Every structure is written in C-alpha cells, then in structure tokens.
Structure 1
C-alpha cells in the first residue's frame, strides 16, 4: 500500500461584482480567497479593485467559473437597493512549488 501523495496545487478564488452583467463593465466590489495560505482574506485590502473589469482578470490568467443568474426585478421594485447582482467567480490554480 502506498502513502497518499499531497498535491502542490491549490485554488485561489476571486469574486468580482461588476456594474452590469457585461464582463467588460467596471468592478464595483470584490473578495479574494487564497487556498495557498500565502495571503489572508484581508491582505492587500485597497480602495482600488484588483482588476478594472472581469475581462482584465481573464487576460491575467483567471478562469471564469460562474456568473450570477440574471433575474429581473419584480414590477414596482426596479429601483430598490439590494445585493450586488452582477457577481462573477474566477479561479486560478497555483503550484506551491513555484515562487509566489
């Protein structure tokens, strides 16, 4: 019986909230989660988003894995404020054997 091998690959997640459903629209909020353990969720907090648009994240090697479903507001609630609805999840796989 062989011992289980641990992989050196870890997932990083980036959640971008866009101003519209288009990937080239401006980022208005964001969250990062680092499965490598190299950073904490609040590391690098800034008033500037990590990318100006979702397309910029794609160009930097992030893979888009989910886009929030577009649900129209109920009649009479078109101008209510609520959650940020244009949410996109991106991932990238990082090899821990490579320098950060």
Structure 2
C-alpha cells in the first residue's frame, strides 16, 4: 500500500509600484491553506519580499499578473485601488 502526500496551497498577493515584477512592493496579503498561519498576520510591517522577482526566486509561482488599464483622461492623479496586483502560489505539504 502506498501513501500519498497531501499538499495545500499558499497564496501571496503583492501590490507593486509598477507593472514590472522588479518594482518595489507597496502592499501585500497572504493566505495559508495549511491553516498554520492566519491571513496577513506577522510581527513586522515589512513586506515578505521587496519585489515580485524576489518571491519568484524563493519558489513562489506567478499565477496572475496585473491587467494594464490606462487611467481615464483627467484621472491620472486621483487616488484609487492599487492596480499592479500579482498573485503567487506555492504548494506545501499539509
């Protein structure tokens, strides 16, 4: 009889300064399907990675990049949502 290793998904959402993966992280959220950590909790206000490239180098897989939508004329300097959103995932043993 063989046993299979169960895996769970961890999701990391990084909001970057621009659409480039090597731009600085402005905001982030983490979700852990293993249940070992709670979303977005931590001991620091520092992002888990300085750039999206750093997350890739640490083994996270990019699953969705930000859709590039130009601002409406006249709205270039208005405050809005963080538009450069990137979703990463990694699978870890349960």
1: CA distance, partners of 2:31 / 2:10: 6
Moved more, 39-48 or 7-16: 39-48
Task: Note the aligned Cα RMSD (angstroms).
Answer: 1.6
Q: Which runs of 5+ in 1 are unaligned?
A: none
Q: Which structure has the bigger radius of gyration? A: 1
2: CA distance, partners of 1:25 / 1:74: 23
Residues 66-96 of structure 1: CA deviation (Å, up to 9, x unaligned): 0120100011111111000000000000012
Q: Which residue of 2 aligns with 1:73?
A: 71
Q: Which residue of 2 aligns with 1:24?
A: 22
Q: TM-score, normalised by structure 1?
A: 0.86
1: CA distance, partners of 2:43 / 2:13: 14
Moved over 6 A (4+): none
Q: Which residue of 1 aligns with 2:59?
A: 61
Q: Which residue of 1 aligns with 2:37?
A: 39
Decide whether the 8 Å contact of 2:63 with 2:89 is kept in 1.
Answer: yes
Aligned residues: 92
Q: TM-score, normalised by structure 2?
A: 0.92
Moved more, 40-49 or 13-22: 40-49
SS in 2 for 1:47: coil
Match of 1:52 among 47, 50, 53: 50
